[in-house]
Structure 1
Amino acid sequence: MIRKHSATLHGHRTSFSLEEPFWLELKAISQSRAIALAQLIVEIDDARPPDSNLSSALRVYVLDWIKAHRD
Protein backbone atom coordinates (compact mmCIF):
# COMPACT_ATOMS: atom_id res chain seq x y z
CA MET A 1 0.00 0.00 0.00
CA ILE A 2 1.30 3.45 -0.90
CA ARG A 3 1.19 6.12 1.82
CA LYS A 4 1.86 9.83 1.69
CA HIS A 5 4.57 11.16 3.98
CA SER A 6 5.73 14.69 4.71
CA ALA A 7 9.17 16.07 5.48
CA THR A 8 10.84 19.44 5.87
CA LEU A 9 13.71 19.86 3.44
CA HIS A 10 15.83 22.97 3.78
CA GLY A 11 13.02 24.78 5.53
CA HIS A 12 10.15 23.89 3.21
CA ARG A 13 7.56 21.16 3.59
CA THR A 14 7.23 18.57 0.90
CA SER A 15 5.36 15.33 0.55
CA PHE A 16 6.15 12.07 -1.15
CA SER A 17 4.45 8.72 -1.61
CA LEU A 18 6.09 5.43 -0.71
CA GLU A 19 5.08 1.85 -0.31
CA GLU A 20 5.33 0.66 3.30
CA PRO A 21 8.33 -1.67 2.70
CA PHE A 22 10.38 1.22 1.29
CA TRP A 23 9.40 3.45 4.21
CA LEU A 24 10.37 0.81 6.75
CA GLU A 25 13.69 0.21 4.99
CA LEU A 26 14.46 3.95 4.96
CA LYS A 27 13.87 4.03 8.71
CA ALA A 28 16.15 1.02 9.19
CA ILE A 29 18.87 2.62 7.05
CA SER A 30 18.74 5.84 9.06
CA GLN A 31 19.05 3.82 12.27
CA SER A 32 21.97 1.81 10.96
CA ARG A 33 23.72 5.03 9.92
CA ALA A 34 22.84 6.63 13.28
CA ILE A 35 21.25 9.67 11.64
CA ALA A 36 17.76 11.11 11.79
CA LEU A 37 15.36 9.93 9.12
CA ALA A 38 14.83 13.56 8.10
CA GLN A 39 18.57 13.98 7.58
CA LEU A 40 18.69 10.88 5.37
CA ILE A 41 15.81 12.20 3.27
CA VAL A 42 17.58 15.55 2.87
CA GLU A 43 20.77 13.76 1.74
CA ILE A 44 18.83 11.76 -0.84
CA ASP A 45 16.96 14.85 -2.01
CA ASP A 46 20.20 16.81 -2.40
CA ALA A 47 21.81 14.02 -4.44
CA ARG A 48 18.95 13.33 -6.83
CA PRO A 49 18.99 14.58 -10.41
CA PRO A 50 16.90 17.73 -10.91
CA ASP A 51 14.55 15.97 -13.34
CA SER A 52 13.68 13.13 -10.94
CA ASN A 53 11.09 13.12 -8.20
CA LEU A 54 11.74 12.52 -4.53
CA SER A 55 9.64 9.35 -4.26
CA SER A 56 11.62 7.68 -7.04
CA ALA A 57 14.93 8.87 -5.58
CA LEU A 58 14.02 7.35 -2.20
CA ARG A 59 13.13 4.01 -3.78
CA VAL A 60 16.36 3.92 -5.81
CA TYR A 61 18.40 4.80 -2.71
CA VAL A 62 16.84 1.89 -0.80
CA LEU A 63 17.52 -0.49 -3.68
CA ASP A 64 21.13 0.69 -4.01
CA TRP A 65 21.65 0.41 -0.24
CA ILE A 66 20.32 -3.14 -0.14
CA LYS A 67 22.46 -4.17 -3.12
CA ALA A 68 25.58 -2.61 -1.57
CA HIS A 69 25.03 -4.26 1.82
CA ARG A 70 24.22 -7.81 0.80
CA ASP A 71 25.81 -10.46 2.99
Structure 2
Amino acid sequence: MSNARNKRSLTIAKHRTSVSLEEPFWSALADIAKQDGKSIASLVSEIDTGRGLAADTGEGRTASLSAAIRLYVLARAQGKREPS
Protein backbone atom coordinates (compact mmCIF):
# COMPACT_ATOMS: atom_id res chain seq x y z
CA MET A 1 0.00 0.00 0.00
CA SER A 2 1.34 3.39 -0.97
CA ASN A 3 1.71 6.13 1.62
CA ALA A 4 1.73 8.81 -1.07
CA ARG A 5 -0.29 11.87 -0.25
CA ASN A 6 -2.76 13.25 -2.71
CA LYS A 7 -3.18 17.01 -2.80
CA ARG A 8 -6.63 18.39 -3.57
CA SER A 9 -7.88 21.94 -3.78
CA LEU A 10 -11.01 23.01 -1.94
CA THR A 11 -12.83 26.26 -1.33
CA ILE A 12 -13.42 26.87 2.36
CA ALA A 13 -14.25 30.16 4.07
CA LYS A 14 -14.51 31.75 0.62
CA HIS A 15 -10.90 31.01 -0.32
CA ARG A 16 -9.08 28.24 -2.13
CA THR A 17 -6.77 26.00 -0.17
CA SER A 18 -4.91 22.79 -0.87
CA VAL A 19 -4.95 19.80 1.44
CA SER A 20 -2.62 16.81 1.25
CA LEU A 21 -3.93 13.53 2.63
CA GLU A 22 -3.27 9.87 1.99
CA GLU A 23 -5.91 8.24 -0.21
CA PRO A 24 -7.51 6.21 2.64
CA PHE A 25 -8.20 9.48 4.48
CA TRP A 26 -9.73 11.08 1.37
CA SER A 27 -11.93 8.03 0.95
CA ALA A 28 -13.00 8.01 4.62
CA LEU A 29 -13.65 11.75 4.52
CA ALA A 30 -15.85 11.31 1.43
CA ASP A 31 -17.78 8.53 3.19
CA ILE A 32 -18.33 10.69 6.29
CA ALA A 33 -19.47 13.64 4.18
CA LYS A 34 -21.92 11.41 2.32
CA GLN A 35 -23.28 9.95 5.59
CA ASP A 36 -23.78 13.48 6.92
CA GLY A 37 -25.35 14.73 3.69
CA LYS A 38 -22.59 17.28 3.12
CA SER A 39 -20.00 18.03 0.50
CA ILE A 40 -16.36 17.31 1.30
CA ALA A 41 -15.64 21.06 1.16
CA SER A 42 -18.44 21.77 3.64
CA LEU A 43 -17.18 19.12 6.05
CA VAL A 44 -13.59 20.36 5.77
CA SER A 45 -14.84 23.88 6.43
CA GLU A 46 -16.49 22.67 9.65
CA ILE A 47 -13.29 20.89 10.68
CA ASP A 48 -11.30 24.06 9.97
CA THR A 49 -13.75 26.14 12.04
CA GLY A 50 -13.40 23.62 14.86
CA ARG A 51 -9.65 24.20 14.86
CA GLY A 52 -10.28 27.90 15.44
CA LEU A 53 -12.71 27.18 18.26
CA ALA A 54 -10.13 24.95 19.95
CA ALA A 55 -7.65 27.82 19.89
CA ASP A 56 -10.26 30.20 21.31
CA THR A 57 -10.93 27.87 24.23
CA GLY A 58 -7.24 27.47 25.03
CA GLU A 59 -7.05 23.87 23.85
CA GLY A 60 -4.54 24.78 21.16
CA ARG A 61 -4.93 24.84 17.40
CA THR A 62 -3.99 21.72 15.48
CA ALA A 63 -0.76 22.31 13.57
CA SER A 64 -2.30 21.90 10.13
CA LEU A 65 -5.63 21.42 8.44
CA SER A 66 -4.43 18.04 7.14
CA ALA A 67 -3.68 16.91 10.70
CA ALA A 68 -7.08 18.17 11.90
CA ILE A 69 -8.80 16.19 9.14
CA ARG A 70 -6.90 13.03 10.03
CA LEU A 71 -7.86 13.41 13.70
CA TYR A 72 -11.50 14.02 12.75
CA VAL A 73 -11.58 10.91 10.54
CA LEU A 74 -9.94 8.85 13.30
CA ALA A 75 -12.44 10.10 15.89
CA ARG A 76 -15.36 9.23 13.62
CA ALA A 77 -13.88 5.77 12.95
CA GLN A 78 -13.74 5.27 16.72
CA GLY A 79 -17.41 6.20 17.01
CA LYS A 80 -16.91 9.73 18.32
CA ARG A 81 -18.56 12.75 16.73
CA GLU A 82 -15.48 14.96 17.15
CA PRO A 83 -11.88 14.50 18.25
CA SER A 84 -11.21 15.09 21.92
TM over 0.5: yes
Unaligned runs of 5+ in 1: none
Task: Provide the identity percentage.
Answer: 42
Unaligned runs of 5+ in 2: 56-60
Letter in 2 for 1:54: L
**Max Rg structure:** 2
| Number of residue pairs the alignment of both structures matches | 69
**Displacement of 1:68:** 1.1
Q: Give yes or no for the alignment of 1:33 onto 2:36.
A: yes
Q: Tell me which of 16, 21, 24 is aligned to 2:24.
A: 21
Q: How does 1:1-71 map to 2 (within 5 A)?
A: 1-48=4-51, 49=55, 50=61, 52-68=63-79
The C-alpha deviation readout for 1:22-59, integer Å capped at 9, x for no partner, is: 00000000001111111101000110144521000000
SS of corresponding position for 1:68: coil
Which protein has greater RCO, CA pairs closer than 8 Å, 6+ apart? 1
Off by >4 Å, runs of 4+ in structure 1: none
Pairwise CA RMSD of aligned residues? 1.3
TM-score, with structure 2 as normaliser = 0.76
